[in-house]
Amino acid sequence: MELKRVVVTGLGAVTPIGNTKEETWNSLLAGKSGSAPITQFDPSKFKTQFACEVKNLNVNDYIDRKEARKLDRYTQLAMISAIQGVNDAGLDLNKEDKNRIGVIYGVGIGGIQTFEEEVVYYGQNRDKGPKFSPFFIPKMIADIASGQISIHFGFHGPNYTTTSACASSTSALSDAFNLIRLGKANIIVSGGAEAAICESGVGGFNAMHALSTRNDDPEHASRPFSASRDGFVMGEGAGCLILEELEHAKARGAKIYAEMIGEGASADAYHITASHPEGLGAKLVMTFALEDAGIKPEDVDYINVHGTSTSVGDISESKAIKDVFGEHAYELNISSTKSMTGHLLGAAGAIEAMVCVLAVQNNIIPPTINHDEDDKDPEIDYNLNFTFNHAQEREVRVAMSNTFGFGGHNACVLFKKYVE
């Protein structure tokens, strides 16, 4: 069986640095940080009092007010990104076979804000007996974003959610890619969403010592590959990529951003939260993706790394890149856009895949911001080009996106310039 080719024909994004793909991309190229004091709850008693929140978003521009109240924030963001993506793809839904259009989104946690609100209310009023909203469960569950998107558009194709912590939306893209190239769907609306900036989300990650506590300087707190990094900055948002079978896209005259050519998945099988210190799973997943795409390491020009600004993760990923790419590692551009967006958890892979697609299309690499020349970690090889502080123009034939999640889940996707 000959596998079908898969292309990207639409993009959508709601991020801490922009409420559309255009705003997000322009902010990335300008090196803009989305980190600021938390406004969604009073963080004064928390170790971390800042995050990368979505800003100035009017949900009702996209979703009816009454319907929006039935959705957790993560689902609202997911739906907005999908609406943007479908519009960007120029799909004429009156002509499309909706039985051949699916929705696969990645979500790391799901409706944690809804869970928190409902359980706190019950705990405070337990003597009155149970009183829960009938929307509690359907707002909370992680699969509901994909379900709500399919209901909104009437898409009857494959529909589910992938959960692999911070690799969730890369896993979603991988599944969507495989289903299309196997002929199971013409189009899949894919991506991811997360909204965990609430007391239980921030408090839970604080308890693990995972978050930066640079409360005096939030804007510069996310500093991947710098010696003074002290944890990741939590972000929220959603990203959408419309993946489409090539011949179907050509037949309807779709614009094509890039071609998706490979995916990989692996496990560290090492620790529930820490990455393997030698980057074992990271090496495997990049190797698997290259093999799947049928390309050599030398064909890759850019890696959007997981790069969370954590002490162990940044070291192990840079080691893994050197092991997989050899001398070519020094010819690559590498950047962590989490230095600007923060860590969007389950949505990270979708936004970072979009960054790879736009880098391929525009031949420019967004930077890794917040690095000072004298802030070097002896465990990191600075002969690698981390694209520090300023965007760099270069030809980008192939771009790779890495995402690694708690539990040891690793996922990797590859995009290249579309050529007939």
At 164, the pLDDT band (50, 70, 90 cuts) reads very high
At 69, the pLDDT band (50, 70, 90 cuts) reads very high
> Which of 220, 276, 343, 409 is labelled catalytic?
343
Q: Residue 397 pLDDT more than 90?
A: yes
Q: If you ran DSSP here, which 8-state letter would residue 220 be given?
A: G
pLDDT (tens digit per residue) in 358-378: 999 999 999 999 999 999 999
What is the predicted pLDDT for the residue at 406? 96
| Summary mean pLDDT of the chain | 97
Residue 252 burial (10 A CB sphere; 0-12, 13-18, 19+): middle
Taking each helix axis as running N to C, give the angle between helix 144-153 and helix 73-89, from 0 to 180 degrees, rounded to the nearest 10: 40
> Which of 220, 248, 306, 409 is labelled catalytic?
306
- Sheet with 6-14, strands from edge to edge, namely 159-162, 101-106, 187-194, 237-245, 6-14, 258-267, 409-416, 398-405, 302-304, 333-335
What is the predicted pLDDT for the residue at 277? 87
Classified as helix, coil or strand, 260 is strand
Does the active-site annotation cover 166? yes
pLDDT (tens digit per residue) in 44-68: 999 999 999 999 999 999 999 999 9
For residues 92-115, one letter each, b for 16 or more C-beta atoms within 10 angstroms of the residue's C-beta and e for the rest, the string is eeeebebebbbbbbbbbbbbbbbb
What is the predicted pLDDT for the residue at 420? 87
- Distance (Å, rounded) from C-alpha 214 to C-alpha 199? 18
Percent of the chain with pLDDT over 90: 98
Percent of the chain with pLDDT over 70: 100
Q: Residue 1 pLDDT more than 90?
A: no
- Distance (Å, rounded) from C-alpha 168 to C-alpha 156? 22
CA dihedral 196, 202, 206, 210 (to 10 degrees): 30
At 108, the pLDDT band (50, 70, 90 cuts) reads very high
Annotated domain spans of the chain: 7-416
Homologous superfamily assigned to 7-416 = Thiolase/Chalcone synthase (3.40.47.10)
Asked whether the beta carbons of 411 and 349 are under 8 A apart, the reply is: yes
Q: Residue 208 pLDDT more than 90?
A: yes
> Which of 52, 166, 198, 412 is labelled catalytic?
166
pLDDT (tens digit per residue) in 232-265: 999 999 999 999 999 999 999 999 999 999 999 9
Q: What are phi and psi of 6, to 5 degrees?
A: -125, 130
CA atoms within 13 A on the CB side of 137: 2
Residues 162-166 have a mean pLDDT of 98
What is the predicted pLDDT for the residue at 134? 97
Taking each helix axis as running N to C, give the angle between helix 21-29 and helix 348-362, from 0 to 180 degrees, rounded to the nearest 10: 70
